[in-house]
Every structure is written in structure tokens, then in C-alpha cells.
Structure 1
Amino acid sequence: MTKPIYIYDDSLLKYRFSSTHPFNQMRVKMTTDLLTMSSQLNETDIIKPRDATDAELGLVHKQDYMDAVKQAGEGSLSPEKMESYGLNTDDTPSFEGMHEKSRMLVGATLTAVDAVMEGRAKKAVSLAGGLHHGFSGRASGFCIYNDSAVAIEYMRQKYNQRVMYIDTDAHHGDGVQWIFYDSNEVMTYSIHETGRYLFPGTGSLTERGTEEGFGFAVNLPIDAFTEDESFLEIFKETLEAAIIKFKPDILFSQNGVDAHYRDPMTHLSVTSNTFEEIPRFVNEMADKYTDGKWIAVGGGGYNLWQVVPRMWAQIWLAMNGVPPLRGRLPEAFIAKYEGKCPIDFPVLWEDDLSDYDDIPRREDINEKNRSMLSRAMLHIEEQ
């Protein structure tokens, strides 16, 4: 049995908008350190990424957009042009070497794809990826190139794979959905906070695909302040049903962890319990339906210190069949990062729920979610 593969190199940390921007790839290094210091990740597990080529980016991105990204990264694109491509906005500001640093993240995801497709592993993770808001010709929501969409189209064209895309980020996976909206060879599945309150405002139940792709977009918009039990009920029931209907060759999951109750940018209320369960359920689905083939990428997660490393570590543990760890984090990890942390630093694998607020509308929220679940299941069964 081949072991899972972990894609990482410090060069991936160069994708950085500014020192104050909420998207901070130091979380990838922190997760890697946490796993290494826990003796769960060894040097032999790690593969260094390659860069994506322009031809690979061009599988989903338009040439004029790629040219614009290159020029913006050189400081030679006019403000009007930048605005038309979604570049240099508050969310997605331009930075030096933007094309080169962005294609590294895509290349890391493609490195994971090739490792699985060539039989070197059944499972692989590249936490630097998961930039699901990127469009074919426009940047959006911290995302310049959409590594997930490129990887999916790459698998479809080069390896003739039917790909099931699973997105558990609190934000709707809009970029990936729209790129494959008319395809019946890719199913996009996104469970996310309703767009009534949260960027990008899309992902309603009625977004189901178009033409040949009708029925191949599955959206589960959950209510603000949804908690573990309701989230996991919806996720497990709908995901397995969608996999059974679609019959994918491989699972590709985007693992944003911004649904966590401590995340500053969303309004969901799940705990570490949900992020322990999600990857273990996806792992189970892969073993059951896709001969174990599963590629995982990162995504959202904006509480760098208290949330992301512990939650993302669960993906690697799940791939390796390791149950959720309990008790204190490694002392070496605490020593390295606690002094740098401007807020209370977590010292346990599981959440200390002393700051978890009771949700006053719990039953109302759960009832809304159950109603949505019933309608979503009808859509899946019709597919």
C-alpha cells in the first residue's frame, strides 16, 4: 500500500499580498511544523512542487488574463486594465512577481495530481492550493489563478478522469462551479454559508448547472450560526448521495476551515469536531467509491494562530488513518509559536470551548437547514 504524499516547499509562502492582508500562507508552514513536530509527517512523505506551465494555466485561464497578471506583477498594467481583470482590488491587490508566485501554487496542486495519477500514491495533499474564487479571466476573493479548476481540467484531459469536486469552505466555491457549469464530466459540490450574508453571494440551491451540466452542480447553502451537528448531518447525507449518482473516478476536496466559530470573516459556528470529521468522511468515501483516490487542497482560514494549523493537520491524519489526536500539542510547536501569537494560543489538539457562545436561534437554524437538506436531496436524486 503506497503512503499518502504531502506537497510542500517554503517557496510556496511567497504568495503574499501584504503583511496585513488576511490571506497568509504562513498557515501552511505552521501546519507542516505541527505535523512534523508531532512525528506524523516525515521528510520521506514530502515532495517538492513544480511550477505550472502557461499551457497548463491556459487549460482554464484566458491568455489575455494571464498576460495581464504578468504585466501587473511587473508594475506595467494601467489601473483601468487592472480593475477590469479584478486585480489590485482591496481583496486581491497586485504584488511583485504575481504570475510567477501564483503559478507555483497551481504547480503544487498539479504535483499532487501527477503523484496520484501515476500511481505513486492513492492520496495526496497540497495545502497551499484551494484558490476557488479565481475565474477564467478575472481575479477574485484573494485568488488569482484557480489551482483547483486547472487541476480538474488537467485530470479530465490528460487522464480521462471523472472528477468530484468537494468544497467545504464557508464561502461558496464559485470560480470552480462556473468554470465547469456546463460539464457533465465534473461534479461540483459546495457546502457553505448562505450567500445572503457572505461573499460571494452565490451558491443557492437553484444553481444546478446548465445544458449538459444541469444537475452536476450541487449547492448546500446553510444558515448563519450553523453548528457541528447540523453541518455534519447535511454534509454526510448529501455527499454520499451525490457520489453514488455521479460515480467519480477520483475525489478532489477543497478544505477551507473558515466555518470555524473563531474565524473572523464568516458567521458559522462549527468546532474542531467538524474539521476532524470532514476529512475522515471524505477518506471513507474515497476508499468506498474511488479506489482510495483522493487529492486535498487548502482554502480559506483566517485565524492563523488558533484555528488553521490544528484543523488542516486533520486532513493529513485522516489520509493516514490516524484518529484525531488529543491532549497537548507538541511542546516544540508551542515553544516556537506561542510567543509570536498576539492572542490566546491554543495548546490542545481539540478546541477549548470556553469562548464558544451559545446560539440562541439554534432550533430555528436547524429547521431551516433541514428544509434545505430535503430540497437538496430531491435535486440530487433527480440528477
Structure 2
Amino acid sequence: MSDRVALVWDDAFEAYDFGPQHPLKPIRVVLTVALVRACGLDALPNVSAVIPRSATRAELETIHDPAYIDAVERISREVADPYGNYGWGIGTGDDPAFAGMHDASARVAGASITAADAVWSNTVEHAFNPAGGLHHAMADHASGFCIYNDPAIAIRWLLDHGAARVAYIDVDVHHGDGVQAAFYVDPRVLTVSLHESGHFLFPGTGFPDEVGRGGAEGTKVNVSLPPYTYDDAYRAAFERVVPPLVEAFKPDVLVTQLGCDTHATDPLAHFALTTKTYRYLARALHDLAHSTAGGKWVATGGGGYQIYAVVPRAWTIYFAELAGGSTPTELPAEWVERARAEGARELPDSFDDHGVILPRGRREEVDERAAAAAQETVARVFPYFGLR
């Protein structure tokens, strides 16, 4: 496929920085874009680089309470202690305060709006904001490394500009709780989150009985998977749940959060995926965008804390699929040199993982539990769509 694709990027994204001890390090997105460029994907004739704008106050208020935005602006100006008692979810270990926090967060939100605008206006078919995917932020407080909820803001922008139905698919290892909450009573938005069970991982939500409320019942979908979910088990769960629902929903546009903290080596979770699954998901989501949404696909980054060895490879794999390009067998030498200069100690010797194999008994156990989780989701939400 040679769809027109926008890479939404600004070097100023580096300002979204909670500090050197925080796991969400901006170098992960810097190195992602560097790898995209080292692979020549940005030079493809169908790819354009787009510099984003910041979200306006009015756009932020479509999701966030005015008093919360006021607080973020004030703390951004007055911060003295990153871990001060500021309230609003700010000043915690997950969301320490930093100078310029409002501007940096509004820029990320604006980038997802820029991506949505480019797709909705038919300037491009697909757009990718690697700095986005801050899916935990709530209307009135920060949460889980997220100040403003850029996927929710972009979805609201699409609805306000004529989209009748938006499908949001979240493949981060953590439940996409903030996006679900923003549209919990809105039947125009289908949210589908596949994640590690909240029994074991932050934010402790995302169970199959969270299906929406009122007229939106059935449009909020959660696949709560067990620890050690690996490639085959994940793919089976995805295929059982996601394509039938998205096809039945018939969205005008597909929005995806592509967190790669599902990787077997990620330090903050307990899944066992490899790049095999990222290649599968990239193709599956691309196919869904074309089969259900006329090709309209807005993609964001998300979680991912193996910042050198995994995140750049995973998101470059996704971008290669978006752009109809390919990745080399080996990591480009100039990128490896750059990553090492930025602090990388151990890097893989190839673009794709060689595979992470769970012991046979563990695979069988995970297969059974993951299949049961997918089936529980099916039982909860498929009847709303006349599916079985």
C-alpha cells in the first residue's frame, strides 16, 4: 500500500520530561524518529513530515475541567519541588511537576489533533504522533505519567468536526482508563483495550464488566489478559474480539494507541510479547482501517520503558506498515551509534526479536487463561452488536 502518511513531529516534544529518574524518558521518541529516518522511511514519496501546533485552551476543555487546566498552568509556572503537595495528581512519583509542564503537554495534545485533522481533512490517509498516547489522564487529575489525555482530545476533535463514530483500539499493557472514562456514556466512541489484568497491574481497572453506561452500553470493551501473555495467546485474543467488533461498529475513523510496554523485557509489566506481535498488529490494524474506516487511521505512541532496545524498533515497525515501507534485517549502524551515544548499553543485533519462548507448561496455562479472558469479553459485549 502507498497511502499518504504524516509523521507528526517536533523536536520540542523533548520538553515533556518528568526528570532523569523517571521511566518515561523523552529520548525514546527521539530515537524512534531517528530510527525511522535511518531506515529511510521519512524519505518515501508518500510520507510527509508535519510540525504540530499546540492544543488551544478550548480544545483542552473538551476533555479536561477548567480548574484542572488552571492548576497545571499555575504549577508549571511556580514549581519548586517536583514532588510538592500540589494536588490534582501532580507531584507524585508517577507525575512529578516540572517547569513548562502545561506547554509541553498541550503540545503533545495538539500533535494528536494535528494528526486527526490531517486524516479527517483527507490530506493523508494515516498519521502518526509518536509522542502521544497519554491515555491515563482524567478530566480533573493527572495519572500514570499523563497530564493531558491526547487520544481523548483528538477523538473529541473528530466528533466535533463531523465524525459520527470513532473506534479507539488500545494495545498498551495498561488499561486505557482515561479514554474509556471520557466516553463512557457516549455511544459514538467504541473503545477497545487489550491489557494486563488490573488484578496485577496499574491502573487496576479494565475488567470485562466495564461496558459503558446508558445508550453506550456495549461500546466499551476490555480484554483483561493474564501475566505472561505471549505472542500466540495475544494474537488469538485479538482476533477473537477486535475485528468483529470494529467491523460491526463501522467507524468513520480508527484511532490507535500503540504502547509497546507489552514486550517481554519491559521493566514495568509482565507480558511476554516480541516484535512478532508488533508486526502482526501493524498489519491487522492497517487492514481494519481500510476495511472499516475508509483507510482513516490516527496512530499514537504510548507506554514503553525499554527505551533503547524496544521502543524505537516497535514504533518504527508500526510506521513502516503505515507508510508501506520496510525495515532492514539489521539495525542501521548510524542509528546504533546514536543510541549508544545517548546511553544505550545493550542493543539487539537485529531489527526483529529472535523469539521469547515460555516453557511448554506455562504456554498452555497462558493459552487457556487468555482464551477464557477473550471469551468473557465476547460474552459481555458481542450481544450488543448481534454477534456471537
* Equivalent in 176, 179, 187 of residue 179 of structure 2: 176
Partner of 2:34: helix, strand, or coil?
helix
Q: Is the 8 A contact 2:84 2:91 kept in 1?
A: no
Which residue number corresponds to residue 304 of structure 1?
A: 307
Verify: 1:220 aligned to 2:235, yes or no.
Answer: no
Question: How far apart are the structure 2 equivalents of 1:233 and 1:67?
Answer: 45
Amino acid at match of 1:294: W
- 1:261 touches 1:356 (CA, 8 Å); kept in 2? no
- 1:229-248 equivalences in 2 (<5 Å): 229-248=232-251
Inter-partner Cα distance in structure 2 for 1:120 and 1:79: 41
**CA pair 360-47 structure 1, distance change in 2 beyond 3 A:** same
Letter in structure 1 aligned against 2:160 = Q
The Cα shift of 1:78 comes to 11
1:55-104 Cα distance to aligned partner (Å, 9 max, x none) = 00000100000000011111269999955310110100000011111100
What is the alpha-carbon distance in structure 1 between the residues aligned to residue 81 and residue 277 of structure 2? 45
Establish whether residue 123 from structure 1 lines up as the match of residue 126 from structure 2. Answer: yes
- Quote the Cα distance in structure 1 between the aligned partners of 2:67 and 2:190: 28
CA-CA distance at 1:373 after TM superposition: 1.6
Q: Deviations over 1:260-309 (max 9, x none)?
A: 00100000001110111111100001111111010000000000111000
* 1:195 and 2:198 correspond: yes
Residue 347 (structure 1) aligns with:
349
Contact 1:230 1:366 in 2 (8 A): yes
2:282 counterpart of 1:282 = no
Q: How much does 1:161 deviate?
A: 3.4
- In structure 2, what is the Cα distance between the partners aligned to 1:326 and 1:2? 21
Q: CA RMSD in A?
A: 2.0
Residues 81, 97 of structure 2: 8 Å contact kept: no
TM-score scaled by length of structure 2 = 0.94
Give the drift of 1:365.
Answer: 1.6
- 1:315 offset after TM fit, Å? 1.4
Gaps of 5+ in 1: none
CA distance in 2, matches of 1:256, 1:329: 21
Kindly indicate whether residue 90 of structure 2 is the aligned counterpart of residue 87 of structure 1. yes
**2:211–2:381 Cα contact (<8 Å) kept:** no
> Structure 2: which amino acid aligns with 1:350?
D
Deviation per CA, 1:172-200: give whole Å up to 9, x if none.
00000011011101011000000111000
Residues 187-240 of structure 1: per-residue CA shift (max 9 Å, x gap): 110000001110000000111111111111000000000110010111122111
1:319 is matched with which residue: 319, 322, 328? 322
Letter in 2 for 1:344: E
Q: Which residue of 2 aligns with 1:263?
A: 266
Greater mean alpha carbon deviation, residues 299-308 or residues 337-346: 337-346
Aligned-partner SS, 2:173: coil
Measure the CA separation in 1 of the matches of 2:211 and 2:260. Answer: 24
For residue 28 of structure 1, report the CA deviation from its aligned partner: 1.2
Deviation at 1:341, TM superposition (A): 3.7
* CA displacement, residues 130-174 of structure 1 (integer Å, 9 cap, x when unaligned): 000000111000000000011111111122331101000000000
Contact 1:207 1:218 in 2 (8 A): yes
Report the 3-state secondary structure (helix = DSSP H, G, I; strand = E; otherwise coil) of the residue aligned with 1:221.
strand
1:28-177 aligned at under 5 Å gives the runs 28-42=29-43, 45-75=48-78, 83-177=86-180
SS for the counterpart of 2:268 is coil
CA distance in structure 1 between the partners assigned to 2:350 and 2:9 by the alignment: 25
* SS state at 1:41 partner: helix
CA distance in 2, matches of 1:6, 1:116: 12
Q: Which amino acid aligns with 1:128?
A: A
- Displaced runs of 4 or more, over 6 A: 76-81
1: distance between equivalents of 2:334 and 2:301?
24
Structure 2 CA distance for partners of 1:77 and 1:96, relative to 1, 3 Å: closer
Query: Normalising to structure 1: TM-score of the pair?
Result: 0.95
Query: How far is 1:337 from its partner?
Result: 1.6
Distance 2:131 2:184 in 1: 25
CA spacing shift, 1:76–1:259, aligned 2, 3 Å: closer
The percent identity for this pair of structures is: 35
Which residue of structure 1 lines up, in the alignment, with residue 332 of structure 2?
Answer: 330
- SS of the aligned residue for 2:42 comes to coil
Distance in 2 of aligned mates of 1:79 and 1:170: 27
CA distance in 2, matches of 1:260, 1:76: 35
Cα distance in 1, alignment partners of residues 321 and 379 from structure 2: 30
Q: Supply the AA of the counterpart residue of 2:348.
A: P
- The answer for unaligned runs of 5 or more in structure 2 is none
Q: CA deviation at 1:326?
A: 4.7
- Specify whether residues 369 and 330 from structure 1 end up closer, same or farther in structure 2 by C-alpha distance, changes over 3 A only: same
